[in-house]
Amino acid sequence: MSRHTVRPPFQPKHIADFPCGTCDEAGHLVETLSSWRTSTPEVNLQLCTGCLRCYLLCPEGMIVKKNGKVAIEFDFCKGCGICAHECRSDAIRMIARRE
């Protein structure tokens, strides 16, 4: 499965480090975007049945298949709570954001 890549922060030292004009490599993101998040989903693997409903419904594509169940990544998770809301096994709960 292809996952997003986030390029490390652009820290140019020399003018030649800049692309010529506004034309640069593609296929990556330049920053993560999770500062919106005020609560974070947590999966209870004992309750998870691996139905993949959350995996399909996550608007940010942050849920991945893992060992027949799921795992959640957090680079772009906004804490929308859709996964917790839609889980038919109540395996996901939203907890107050932790640093």
Binding site for other proteins (CB under 8 A): 12-15, 17-18, 21-22, 35-38, 78, 96-97, 99
C-beta of residue 41 within 8 angstroms of C-beta of residue 83: yes
Specify the residue, 69 or 93, whose C-beta has the smaller distance to other proteins: 93
> Rounded to the nearest whole angstrom, what is the least distance from the CB of residue 68 to other proteins in the complex?
33
Q: Smaller CB distance to other proteins: residue 14 or 88?
A: 14
Produce one character per residue of 44-55: b if its CB has 16 or more CB atoms within 10 Å, e if not: eeeebeeeebbb
Residue closer to other proteins, measured from CB, 24 or 65:
24
Minimum CB distance to other proteins, residue 38 (Å): 5
Helix or strand run (H / E) with residue 56: helix 53-57
For residues 61 and 73, what is the distance between their CA atoms, to the nearest angstrom? 9
